[in-house]
Amino acid sequence: AQSVTQPDIHITVSEGASLELRCNYSYGATPYLFWYVQSPGQGLQLLLKYFSGDTLVQGIKGFEAEFKRSQSSFNLRKPSVHWSDAAEYFCAVGARTGFQKLVFGTGTRLLVSP
């Protein structure tokens, strides 16, 4: 069965500093990989996804993520964080065959300090 681990419950970053949010997955093969962001009082919005090809994926709002098969990881990065990036971030995995379901991690809440 698929599973996703986001080891950091909270992260605080200074505005302008770089950011890396960790995501590790467990799956029998290479899954489809997603990062979603949830701003306060809002639904989840897709930041980026990896289906195949280049393992460095660019997303919206200046985010990127790198798929590392050897580490079963899909970490999210941003070179310079803005106050508006404060939100909760979810990593998710989905099967490549058959079932449509996405399995989500428990989320990482990002706080941005002035």
Partner 1 sequence: EAQVTQNPRYLITVTGKKLTVTCSQNMNHEYMSWYRQDPGLGLRQIYYSMNVEVTDKGDVPEGYKVSRKEKRNFPLILESPSPNQTSLYFCASSFTRETGANVLTFGAGSRLTVL
Classify residue 37 by burial, with Cβ atoms within 10 Å: 0-12, 13-18, 19+.
Answer: buried
**Which positions from 13 through 52 interact with partner 1, judged by CB under 8 A?**
31-32, 34, 36, 41-46, 49
Residue whose token pair is 């419950």: 9
**Cα gap 16→105, rounded to integer Å:** 26
**Which positions from 82 through 111 interact with partner 1, judged by CB under 8 A?**
90, 94-102, 104-107
Q: Does 9 bind partner 1 (CB under 8 A)?
A: yes
Q: Which parts of this chain interact with partner 1 (CB under 8 A)?
A: 6, 9, 31-32, 34, 36, 41-46, 49, 90, 94-102, 104-107
